[in-house]
Amino acid sequence: MIDQLTDFVSWFFVTGDPLIYGADVAIALTMAAIVFVLTYFRKWGWLWREWLTTVDHKRVGIMYIIAALLMLFRGGVDALMMRTQLAFPDMKFLSPEHYNEVFTTHGVIMILFMAMPLMFGLFNIAVPLQLGARDVAFPFLNSLSFWLFFFGAMLFNTSFVIGGSANAGWLSYPPLSELTGSPGVGEDFYIWGVQISGIGSLMTGINFIVTIVKMRAPGMTWSRVPIFTWSVLSSCIAIIVAFPVLTVTLALLFLDRFLGAHFFTMDGGGNAMMYVNLIWMWGHPEVYIVVLPAFGIFSEVVAAFSRKRLFGYGSMVFAMMSISLMAYFTWLHHFFTMGSGANVNLFFAISTMIIAIPTGVKIFNWLFTMFRGRISFKTPMLWTIAFIPCFVVGGMTGVMLSVAPADFQFHNSYFLIAHFHQVLIGGVAFGYFAGLYYWWPKMFGFKLNETIGKWAFWIWNIGFYVCFMPQYIVGLDGMTRRINSYGWDTGWWALNFTSTIGGFLMGIGFLFQVWQIAHSIKFMEKDTTGDPWGARTLEWSIPSPAPLYNFATTPLVTDRDDWWEEKERIAAGKMPKAKPELEPIHMPKNSPIPFIQSVCWFTVGFGLVFHWLWMAIPGFIGIALTMLAHSFNYDTDYYIPVDEIKRTEARAGRVV
């Protein structure tokens, strides 16, 4: 009996690695601390009522952002472990298996569980406010999306202490990811973690498209929609086309592994290259999905901090929309070296290059927004300015990679690694940081400390170049990605060592950001104006943090930068726009169902990973029951009375 139990435990939990034991202890202590604090301060009820069951888009957004920052830490630690292993030739820091798990986890987490939720967090914070709306189109669905992402991410994260992590790379190419190549449960954790959160992403895409199409304030014609909201629309259109492909691809891989199907195995007539095609049909649009909203953020920030209208609004919108369309004609450039022949390679080479055109146009538009403006160097603007040279260089190496015959020399080398980190960090991470700093006062009612923020900015940036510039060179010197060690005879160590230093500098930059947040919470610079940056769009016309109902009265939009124009009118001594009478506000009620249903999804995923149908089937039943329960729930909304609105506005210093 005892023996059986020990056997089970040593099979169920990952054993034998001191780093993992350390993580086990850290996880246990953190959990204990959270439970203790919540119990001691009697916060369980508060947590449940105010956060876990909330459908308020602002709170959902904040939860997305917290989860994303935790994942940024997790993925960053993985990155530093890899850089430590590669700092010297023949390092013995990580075993090959462990190294493979670490880079797989790093990739999956950074793209799917860091970039995506941070992006959704910013969508949630900013889009309804920019539209002058009270919430997103489907608040319940929004909450469900978040919890699906969260439990998908948790499922994926459990794998490194329970069962073992995926180790076939972040896109899990078969046959390596099939049972023959990865017999453990790691790939199943990957499939279900990504699958569950992917369903959430798809629903978010639908939700925001409907929100933008249907919930714009009166007067907000398409030519008056704020540019960030346009970028969200273009990104969401790409989401709803790309994510079903991911869902199907992973479902097929799951059938291969679980039921012995042969979609991607050569025996039985499958083909692994089918998977590679499918996964990149999602994977390449995915990078545009995450970068388009960053373009939107840069556009907002550059206009606000140059105190000037955005240059070339029409061009910008056209460029973003065409990028989200062209994203679907580029997937094959990820495997030019497959031997598909000159005609195919040429087609995808040119269709890839073409994307550089709208992207280049956007750079010029940003530059000319600053041109004849007045640029103030607040942290959001610093990240935006740093983005331009970084992305231009990254874009240039991207164009180099798109030249098919030259790509034969770059592909799968560190040149490629350097390129995509440059566009993803320089474009996506810098953009989301800019957005986070920019909208922070709107979320929490206080500004982040500028001095520490500037330190973080400089350390991150210097760290970035020290880390990734050597990787271009070492790639051209023949170092391939994903190797866990190399010999002294290769002559790569100096470059790798430099790169490691840069990686750790970025880590320090991250710590500065953590310090910045902690410091700012303690010594708040309260934002009493609601408009700390002198910005241009509707979200800055309401108090900070935004009240539950966002807008006391629905704004009437008459211009593109409506709030800026209003300020100009007031400054010119004209009357501000007349506001309609207060009326009771119709709001959605909180619901526990998204949380409960997502727990059920987690149960299903966990059960299927271990082939435990006794666990998966009740999970499925739970999902069905929660769906039914929600279908028959007619008590989903309520009205905020006028008195309460008046009290809230008065507290925020507003006269209504």
* Positions 353 through 412 that interact with other proteins (CB under 8 A): 353-354, 356-357, 360-361, 363-365, 367-377, 385, 388-389, 392-393, 396, 399-400, 403-409, 411-412
In the complex, the smallest distance separating the C-beta of residue 474 from other proteins, rounded to whole angstroms, is 7
> In 443-545, where do the E strands start and end?
446-447, 525-526
* Three-state DSSP state, 413: strand
Return the closest-CA partner of residue 331 out of 348, 345, 344, 353: 348
Q: How far apart are CA 198 and CA 354, in angstroms?
A: 29
Selected binder of other proteins within 59, 76, 81, 100 (CB under 8 A): 100
Chain centre to alpha carbon of residue 572: 42
* Span 417-456, contacts to other proteins by CB under 8 A: 451, 454-455
Decide: is 612 part of the binding site for other proteins (CB under 8 A).
no
Selected binder of other proteins within 110, 112, 459, 608 (CB under 8 A): 459
Place of tokens 């206009």: 303
Single out the segment in contact with other proteins by CB under 8 A; choices: 24-32, 105-113, 306-314, 632-640.
306-314
Decide: is 184 part of the binding site for other proteins (CB under 8 A).
yes
Selected binder of other proteins within 267, 522, 573, 635 (CB under 8 A): 267
Question: Which residues on neighbouring strands pair with residue 162, listed in sequence order?
Answer: 13
Peptide bond into 96 cis (omega under 30): no
Please count the residues of the chain.
Answer: 656
In the complex, the smallest distance separating the C-beta of residue 279 from other proteins, rounded to whole angstroms, is 13
Our CA dihedral for 22, 25, 31, 33, rounded to 10 degrees, sits at -110
Decide: is 18 part of the binding site for other proteins (CB under 8 A).
no
CB within 8 Å of 44: residues ≥ 6 apart: 38
| Burial (CB count within 10 angstroms: exposed 0-12, middle 13-18, buried 19+), residue 18 | exposed
Site string for other proteins, 24-43 (x = CB under 8 A): --------------------
Cα–Cα distances (Å) from 118 to 39, 103, 434, 534, in that order, read 29, 21, 12, 24
Our CA dihedral for 307, 311, 317, 318, rounded to 10 degrees, sits at -170
Decide: is 97 part of the binding site for other proteins (CB under 8 A).
yes
In the complex, the smallest distance separating the C-beta of residue 371 from other proteins, rounded to whole angstroms, is 5
* Span 585-604, contacts to other proteins by CB under 8 A: none
Selected binder of other proteins within 185, 232, 417, 645 (CB under 8 A): 185
* Span 222-251, contacts to other proteins by CB under 8 A: none
DSSP 526: E
In the complex, the smallest distance separating the C-beta of residue 292 from other proteins, rounded to whole angstroms, is 18
Structure tokens at 399: 């164009």
Place of tokens 């929600």: 630
Q: How far apart are CA 602 and CA 126, in angstroms?
A: 29
Q: How far apart are CA 398 and CA 393, in angstroms?
A: 9
Structure tokens at 60: 């959902």
Selected binder of other proteins within 224, 307, 577, 654 (CB under 8 A): 307
Cα torsion angle, 224, 229, 235, 240, sign = negative
Selected binder of other proteins within 120, 313, 493, 510 (CB under 8 A): 313
Selected binder of other proteins within 325, 469, 615, 642 (CB under 8 A): 469
In the complex, the smallest distance separating the C-beta of residue 50 from other proteins, rounded to whole angstroms, is 38
Contact 153, 71 (CB under 8 A): yes
Give the nearer residue to other proteins in terms of CB position, either 266 or 613: 266
Decide: is 186 part of the binding site for other proteins (CB under 8 A).
yes
Decide: is 101 part of the binding site for other proteins (CB under 8 A).
yes
Single out the segment in contact with other proteins by CB under 8 A; choices: 74-82, 94-102, 150-158, 521-529.
94-102
Selected binder of other proteins within 27, 169, 559, 599 (CB under 8 A): 169
Selected binder of other proteins within 1, 3, 5, 16 (CB under 8 A): 16
Decide: is 257 part of the binding site for other proteins (CB under 8 A).
yes
Single out the segment in contact with other proteins by CB under 8 A; choices: 106-114, 219-227, 233-241, 484-492.
484-492
In the complex, the smallest distance separating the C-beta of residue 519 from other proteins, rounded to whole angstroms, is 15
Give the nearer residue to other proteins in terms of CB position, either 473 or 524: 473
Give the nearer residue to other proteins in terms of CB position, either 561 or 649: 561
CA geometry: angle 351, 355, 357, nearest 5 deg: 120
Decide: is 271 part of the binding site for other proteins (CB under 8 A).
yes
- How many Cβ atoms are within 10 Å of 644's Cβ, its own excluded? 14
Structure tokens at 479: 């170092």
Give the nearer residue to other proteins in terms of CB position, either 477 or 644: 477
Site string for other proteins, 319-348 (x = CB under 8 A): ----------------x-xxx-xx--xx--
Give the nearer residue to other proteins in terms of CB position, either 277 or 553: 277
Structure tokens at 540: 């800055």
Decide: is 181 part of the binding site for other proteins (CB under 8 A).
yes
- How many Cβ atoms are within 10 Å of 213's Cβ, its own excluded? 11
Cα–Cα distances (Å) from 59 to 15, 65, 136, 432, in that order, read 38, 10, 12, 18
Helix residue ranges, H only, 47-115: 57-86, 96-108
* Span 198-227, contacts to other proteins by CB under 8 A: none
Selected binder of other proteins within 107, 117, 132, 175 (CB under 8 A): 175
Q: How far apart are CA 521 and CA 543, in angstroms?
A: 19
In the complex, the smallest distance separating the C-beta of residue 358 from other proteins, rounded to whole angstroms, is 8
CB within 8 Å of 213: residues ≥ 6 apart: none
In the complex, the smallest distance separating the C-beta of residue 175 from other proteins, rounded to whole angstroms, is 5
Single out the segment in contact with other proteins by CB under 8 A; choices: 192-200, 212-220, 284-292, 486-494.
486-494
Decide: is 83 part of the binding site for other proteins (CB under 8 A).
no
Single out the segment in contact with other proteins by CB under 8 A; choices: 40-48, 313-321, 518-526, 613-621.
313-321
CA atoms within 13 A on the CB side of 203: 20
Selected binder of other proteins within 121, 293, 296, 470 (CB under 8 A): 470
Counting residues that bind other proteins (by CB under 8 A) gives 131
Q: Strands 637-640, 525-526: parallel, antiparallel or unpaired by DSSP?
A: unpaired
Q: Measure CA of the first residue to CA of the last residue in the chain; give whole Å.
A: 72
Give the nearer residue to other proteins in terms of CB position, either 59 or 362: 362
